[in-house]
Structure 1
Amino acid sequence: MFDPYVNTIYDYVGGIDDIRKAKVRTIHPASFSLVEDCARILRAIRIAARLGFGFSRDTARAIKHLAHSVLPLDKGRHLMEVNYMLAYGSAEPSLRLLWRFGLLELLLPIQAAYFVRDGFKRRDKKTNMLLSLFSNMDKLLAPDRPCHSSLWVAILAFHMALLDKPRDPLVVAVFSLAINNGGDMEEAVSIAKRISKPHAKGIYHELSEPQDLDLKTLKKQVLDLGVFINRALSNMTDSYYVSQAMSSYPKAPYSDLVFVSLHLYLKGVKIFECVNKGKEVGFVGKQGGKIDYELLGMGSLQEVRHVFARVVFDTVYPLDIGCG
């Protein structure tokens, strides 16, 4: 507690020492505190991810042991807590911590199944496309500059679609550019054809070998990617589909948790529909690359599309490969 009149901090629980040690710790014994309120488990993950903190030994042990207790929480609470983790600039470390403590397979079993299949290890940095997507998103966000939840839902659906069917990097480039410019496929193709930066094929198995695609085939594959993304969005709202995600792994806990609401699903569909419908009537392109964070937080379609396209493009065409 801080007394501003005398500029004094009163610390009765050792909080300052915990901050100096970069540790998250419950005030009462963790086994009691996390049973008393299981939502503290999710808050602890969020705080540690945002600050880059670790956990005290008893807190870490209790989180792992009691992870399953978060399932009975209301779906709205699940969505709120996951949004706090993914929308405020610390999505990538949040996913790592959720995986480490056995929470990812409960909250996001589809993504947990991908981590298992991908052979993910804690030290993997650049070979996990899902983490790379969220790492690039994190670079554009902050606790005081969050995004609307539809952005991270769109990224999850986009990645699921690539897992179902890997795509040529050029197809992904055209798709993301078309999203950014309101569905103008001709302009997207024209820009994508001029890309000279090296792509990340060979780093992510979600990208297929580049092919010499003619214009008709290229456009057809871009449209097909949109179909797969819409299917992925639908699957995220299907409790049976979600429950089957980890069914190949006998030791995995059962979870059919679906917290993506109908409203959020429809917001996600709206982001991508311009690709299949063609250039939107009256569309005015965004001037410059500056993000309007107020509009992004409110879920402005143009801002969400713009940031989505930047995240995808920066992941498929990273700056740190092919240099030197």
Structure 2
Amino acid sequence: MAKIWCTSMIAKPTRLVLNGLKKKGFEVYLVGGCVRDLILDRTPKDFDILTSAELREVLNTFQRCEIVGRRFPICHVHIDDTIVEVSSFTTTMRKFKRNSYNVVRRPPACSDTDFIRWKNCLGRDFTINGLTFDPFAKIVYDYLGGLEDIRRAKVRCVIPASACFVEDCVLATRILRGLRIAGRLRFWFARETTHSIKELASSISRLDKGRILLEMNYMLAYGSAEASLRLLWKFGLLEILLPIQVVLFVLDSLVVSSYLTLFGCLNQVLSNEPSLAPRTVP
């Protein structure tokens, strides 16, 4: 476990939802990439909440709230113009049972709550996204070595990388997400993850075009465009995602330099984050 002392970067709508559920007596945590960003002293783009409350109980706690999703339903809590996503322990258990790679035995002296937190982390994509933060006790729970991977600036899959990227077609977006995270944070990939991305890069072409466009927009929108393009080029994905630009790159090296310079300038305009060098984790 580790501690996050500064919680001022948690957005006000998220704090209102956290406090509302806590006052009702429910356990409540922040999970996923927002915890990683808080550890790195970065302002998270969004926040995901995990709670012991059932979704119906979340629905009854807030005036403007709805349950969305069929396969793995969550709650959308509307605070002013912001939507805060809340998932339940129950939903996490259902997702866990559908993943054959998450068949584990309950460790000795492990409480029910600790086991549920652990299983939620096992359902994540990368270890650095598999952290659970109690914002009231200010404790980070790490069951997957995510803190060590943050220290080492490494992107590593939770389950075997070859399975992580091919469980189903939709989850192939993890390749793009992994590249986006690595580009934004200036992290490197674990050896197994690097090998699997190279082997499975062609699976990106089977993804829905709308999903690809969404991921590409994310890559270019948050001050990491240049680094993301370099990674896409390195792993042979540019010829799938931006085929016209790749032809220009091959024909004229000056075009490559001009493109990267352009996106480098764009990064400086869009990025209001601290230094991209990995920070030491307490």
TM-score when normalising by structure 1: 0.41
Higher relative contact order (CA 8 A, sep 6+): 1
TM-score scaled to structure 2, two decimals? 0.47
* Greater Rg over alpha carbons, structure: 1
More helix by share: 1
- The structure with the greater share of residues assigned to strand is 2
